[in-house]
Structure 1
Amino acid sequence: MAGLLSISIPAAADDIIKVVASFSILGDMVRQVTGNLAEVTTIVGPDADAHVYTPNAADAKSVANADVIFVNGLGFETWSQTLIETSSSKAKVFVATDGITPLKVDGEIDPHAWNSLVNGMQYVANIAVSMAEINPINAVAYKANARAYNRRLKDLNNRAIDQLERLTTGQRIVVTSHDAFGYLATAYGLTFLAPVGIDTDGEPSARDLSKLIDHLKAVGAGALFTENITSPSLIEQIARETGIKIGGRLYSDALSTRGGPATTYEKLIEHNLRVLIKALSSRS
């Protein structure tokens, strides 16, 4: 899809707002809203796992120098509060998921709210309002950029609904490495199963993995998918033991590196939907 033609107002280098975003997906959303009206730094970069990330000295320096910090919230960045406090940052901290009703998995809040495009549009609106609060002189530009961006996300969501509603019941079961796609499942009437829970910091017990494999042997699944932030070994094992095909690689908690298929949030969602639809539709 065409890139965002953001509204920008020239500013002196010293006047540029310094923004830190906790992870790559959120960082891209901020860039789409701010255009060249902010200098955006991301803590957890592409293809990296924010669940298990350990901040370093460069991260502390970025946070200390920031005017604004955006975090996902919902327990996603367990390290963020300590990083902000130890860096003695004076930045205003905003939670991008404000106003979003979280899902729960086994009693735990699921932080992966961006995997619903409707939620993604709420992130964008929150970013625009937050930036307008910090930098009122550019409020009109931020909000115009956000509206244009959200129109594209809304169009993508409508196309996804149209394509996914054609899937049969048997094509709607998906297996991924960890439980990151609950919001996408809820949005489009899919069922996602995973050997690992909402946090990647752990391994399934042999008993739990065996139960999942037995379940899949009994009921089947549309396809298995690896993820960019986790080892493919568990999914490969499940594929060997069930005979279910691996349908591709999904981008769950991070963008791809430059040259990859998911270098922006919009491209990430487009890629994931395209890979899902292709693999699931091919299952009879």
Structure 2
Amino acid sequence: MRKLFAITLAMTPLLACAKLPVVASFSIVADVAREVGGERVDVVSLVAPDQDAHVFQPSPADVRKLAAAKVFVVNGLGFEGWLARLSKSAAFKGLTVTAAAKVKPLAMAEHEEHDDHHGHDHDHGKQDPHAWHNPQNVALYAEAMAAGFAKADPEGAAYYRQRAQAYKAQLLELDGWAAKSFAAIPAERRKVLTSHDAFAYLAARYKLRFMAPQGVSTDAEASAKGVAALIRQVRKEKVSAVFFENMADRRLLDQLSREAGVKVGGKLYSDALSAAPDAATYVQLFKTNVGALVAAMK
């Protein structure tokens, strides 16, 4: 009996330190989840850095990961088209936290008419899901995660709330820096060409203009007619630079760059973090994107 009692006492700290198992849909929400959850959570991302969540196909291993989780953190707004299918396959009974639940979404029509997508098909419905390109929205992500983690782990509620508040302060400081940086660029130079239409929230927040040969999803194909029209538009409007994305094929952008006579300004990080140190976290990703855009626009 004494031996059993001793073993039980020895195991108690281990049980107390057991982390909340969290599965995140893709790398950006996984990073925010780690910032909010800290030492109390164990976060696994289904879609890894430098991988494309638009074309992700869950594997049996992913089904097992979700089945073992207590919390599933997703972006929402239709970003993860495979979401319902995966949850059903895993028979997931835990808590699903929709990070963008309180975000005011941009309707596709709000920026389609400005960006001239030339008839692309969009698989996200009427809402643009790329809300994380506005740090103010990511602050809402942090709030949603803190509330969700607290529900799944009530003892950690104060801890999650405190970490979310600290992270939100960092995000709002980042937002202020970006606003000041873009404000120094003349409005007529705030025009950029990217691979796909992922930056509408960045454009709306800082009064930028993005054009793209693809729609909001990387699996939408750009038509030859659409590309030709976009080349004419880029020449006419004197677009500052062409940027390729970390998880997209850059060949179409290289073609546009050559034919429109616009320099390649470098790489932007759109739908995924990267193994590269300049975008290993959301904060680093945002700083890198803003720095690259400002340099090209100048």
TM-score (norm 2): 0.88
Aligned counterpart for 1:35 among listed residues 30, 35, 38? 38
Q: Which has the higher helix share?
A: 2
Q: What SS is found at the alignment partner of 1:36? A: helix
Residue 69 of structure 1 is matched in structure 2 by 72
Q: What SS is found at the alignment partner of 1:178? A: coil
Deviation at 1:13, TM superposition (A): 7.0
Aligned counterpart for 2:142 among listed residues 124, 127, 133? 124
**Distance (Å, rounded) in 2 between the aligned partners of 1:73 and 1:51:** 13
- Contact 1:11 1:37 survives alignment (8 Å): no
- Contact 1:51 1:77 survives alignment (8 Å): yes
**How many residues align structurally?**
271
Alignment of 1:73-112 (within 5 A): 73-106=76-109, 108-112=126-130
Indicate how the Cα distance of structure 1 residues 11 and 125 shifts in structure 2: closer, same or farther if over 3 A, else same.
Answer: farther
Deviation at 1:66, TM superposition (A): 0.5
**Distance (Å, rounded) in 1 between the aligned partners of 2:14 and 2:138:** 29
- Contact 1:170 1:222 survives alignment (8 Å): no
Alignment of 1:253 with 2:253, yes or no, is no
- Contact 1:115 1:184 survives alignment (8 Å): yes
Aligned counterpart for 1:141 among listed residues 155, 159, 178? 159
Aligned counterpart for 2:281 among listed residues 250, 264, 269? 264
Alignment of 1:167 with 2:178, yes or no, is no
Alignment of 1:232 with 2:250, yes or no, is yes
**Distance (Å, rounded) in 1 between the aligned partners of 2:277 and 2:20:** 29
- Contact 2:95 2:148 survives alignment (8 Å): no
The Cα offsets for residues 118-158 of structure 1, whole Å up to 9 and x where unpaired, read as: 10111011111111111110011101111111111111110
Q: What SS is found at the alignment partner of 2:162? A: helix
**Distance (Å, rounded) in 2 between the aligned partners of 1:34 and 1:26:** 12
Residue 18 of structure 1 is matched in structure 2 by 21
The structure with more radius of gyration: 2
- Contact 1:114 1:120 survives alignment (8 Å): yes
Report the residue type matching 2:38 in the other structure: G
TM-score (norm 1): 0.93
Q: What SS is found at the alignment partner of 2:279? A: coil
Alignment of 1:205 with 2:208, yes or no, is no
Q: What SS is found at the alignment partner of 1:254? A: coil
Deviation at 1:105, TM superposition (A): 2.0
Deviation at 1:87, TM superposition (A): 1.1
**Distance (Å, rounded) in 2 between the aligned partners of 1:169 and 1:93:** 41
Q: What SS is found at the alignment partner of 1:35? A: helix
Report the residue type matching 2:20 in the other structure: I
Residue 259 of structure 2 is matched in structure 1 by 241
Gaps spanning 5+ residues in structure 2: where? Answer: 1-12, 110-124
Identity of aligned residues (%): 40
Gaps spanning 5+ residues in structure 1: where? Answer: 1-9
Report the residue type matching 1:230 in the other structure: A
**Distance (Å, rounded) in 1 between the aligned partners of 2:212 and 2:277:** 24
**Distance (Å, rounded) in 2 between the aligned partners of 1:30 and 1:183:** 21
Deviation at 1:217, TM superposition (A): 1.2
